[in-house]
Amino acid sequence: MADRKLRIGIIGTGGIARSHLNAYLNQPDVEIVAGADIVPGKAAAFFAGTVGAGAWGAEKSLSENKALEGVRSYDDHVAMLEAEELDAVSVCTYNTAHAECSINALNRGLHVLLEKPMCVTTEEAVAICKAEKASGKVLSIGFQPRFDENMKMIKKIVDSGALGRVYYIQTGGGRRRGIPGSTFIEKSTGGIGALGDIGCYSLDMVLNAIGYPKPLTVSGYISDFFGKNPKYYAEHARFSVDDFGAAFVRLEGGVILDFRISWAIHADTPGDTILFGTDGALRIPSTDCWNGSVGGPMTLYHDIAGKQTETTIPLQKNDKNKGDLWNQKIRSFLNACINNTESPVPSSQILINQAIIDGIMKSAQAGKEIAVEIPEI
């Protein structure tokens, strides 16, 4: 592949596809060949630069909408996969179409960059992982906050041993009022609400830091008191997912995960992220980690020479030479495709993220704690 440009297709040309497209256009070694969207004419309009900005990721890209010449458009992603000689696709559909589109692309021998959350259920995630394994291709999941230096610092602190053995984690976060609209709020398209939209990031922030232990049991809760209420949400009639979720999760290795996430609550935040270890603790101020940032300087609590000490971890600056987080997300995926190296955000980890989210949904439905089993891939 080194002697020619990588041929890229985009499946789902809504809001976030524009961020993918813009980041691909910054890379010298790719060619955008085609795109598909089930809304007739939408992919063509996307490449003509006339639509594409959705609820999120739109502000930055609107001014950058450009017409792209010679890109072919399809109303059916399977037709695109059959007609085009592609190397890789970005799957940017709403959540309920993630599994079908990425499995079809992997089955045709393409590398896949799949937007977060990985999908909706554990069963879908397992099917995606199996298709990936059979294909031998790269599958990376779209968690761009992974490339933020502050996120990396959380993992470095855990890996340094400063916390000792981590045994309890509180994570989550969210908004006082911030229910998105569009395809995020219906079961048929979003599949899951706040849990999948922003909860997956909060889980990734801490689980990546401690090496993604598997969940054993989940006691989960979800509610929709804001999304369904006309007093708080204009599109209440369409709302059919969760706007708040909480869970108590037992992880392998004796780690407890206490999690809460909100699109809407009557408070500024459901809390900071805290990791308790046998030798220290780390407090990460309530964070919009989905935007690739922590909420402020972190605090490391530890004993030095017998004295209880608090060390402030200053905010880390990102290296401008690497480009923004989107640039790094796309570049790291392309590098893995070209060099046949490990996926930057591997499905083996995000399968666990998905199993926790799915466990919360299933436990909430059952009204009791459930055991979580993740099949071998």
Ligand X SMILES: NC(=O)c1ccc[n+]([C@@H]2O[C@H](COP(=O)([O-])OP(=O)(O)OC[C@H]3O[C@@H](n4cnc5c(N)ncnc54)[C@H](O)[C@@H]3O)[C@@H](O)[C@H]2O)c1
Establish if 354 lies at the interface with ligand X (CB under 6 A): no
Establish if 93 lies at the interface with ligand X (CB under 6 A): yes
Q: 227-233 long-range contacts, Cβ below 8 Å, gap at least 24?
A: 227/179, 227/185, 227/193, 227/263, 227/264, 232/177, 232/264, 233/179, 233/264
- Say which residue the tokens 């590098």 belong to: 335
Q: Which is nearer to ligand X, 57 or 344 (CB)?
A: 57
Of the candidate residues 6, 8, 10, 16, the single one contacting ligand X (CB under 6 A): 16
The alpha-helical segments, DSSP class H, found in the chain are 15-25, 42-47, 58-62, 77-83, 98-107, 122-135, 149-160, 194, 200-209, 325-339, 347-366
Establish if 54 lies at the interface with ligand X (CB under 6 A): yes
Query: Shortest approach of ligand X to residue 96 CB, angstroms?
Result: 8
Which residue, 45, 35, 26, 41, is CA-closest to 7? 35
Establish if 13 lies at the interface with ligand X (CB under 6 A): yes
Of the candidate residues 34, 97, 139, 289, the single one contacting ligand X (CB under 6 A): 97
What is the Cα–Cα distance from 211 to 215, expressed in whole angstroms? 12
5-13, 61-69, 122-130, 167-175 -> range binding ligand X (CB under 6 A): 5-13
Establish if 114 lies at the interface with ligand X (CB under 6 A): no
What is the Cα–Cα distance from 214 to 203, expressed in whole angstroms? 12
Of the candidate residues 84, 115, 132, 148, the single one contacting ligand X (CB under 6 A): 115
CA angle 236, 237, 239 (to 5 degrees): 60
**DSSP 8-state symbol, 199:** I
- Say which residue the tokens 């559909």 belong to: 93
Establish if 116 lies at the interface with ligand X (CB under 6 A): yes
31-39, 301-309, 332-340, 364-372 -> range binding ligand X (CB under 6 A): 31-39
Q: Which is nearer to ligand X, 102 or 219 (CB)?
A: 102
Query: Shortest approach of ligand X to residue 368 CB, angstroms?
Result: 29
Of the candidate residues 1, 31, 38, 168, the single one contacting ligand X (CB under 6 A): 38
Q: How does strand 255-262 pair with strand 244-251?
A: antiparallel
- Rule CB under 6 A: which of 248-267 touch ligand X? none
Establish if 119 lies at the interface with ligand X (CB under 6 A): no
Establish if 124 lies at the interface with ligand X (CB under 6 A): no
* Token pair recorded at residue 358: 């799915």
How many residues of this chain bind ligand X (CB under 6 A)?
A: 30
3-state secondary structure of 337: helix
Q: Which residue is nearest to ligand X (CB)?
A: 14
| 42 half-sphere exposure, CB direction, 13 A CA radius | 20
- Say which residue the tokens 């695109």 belong to: 80
Residue ranges binding ligand X (CB under 6 A)? 11-17, 36-39, 42, 54-57, 77, 92-95, 97, 101, 115-116, 142, 144, 182-183, 197
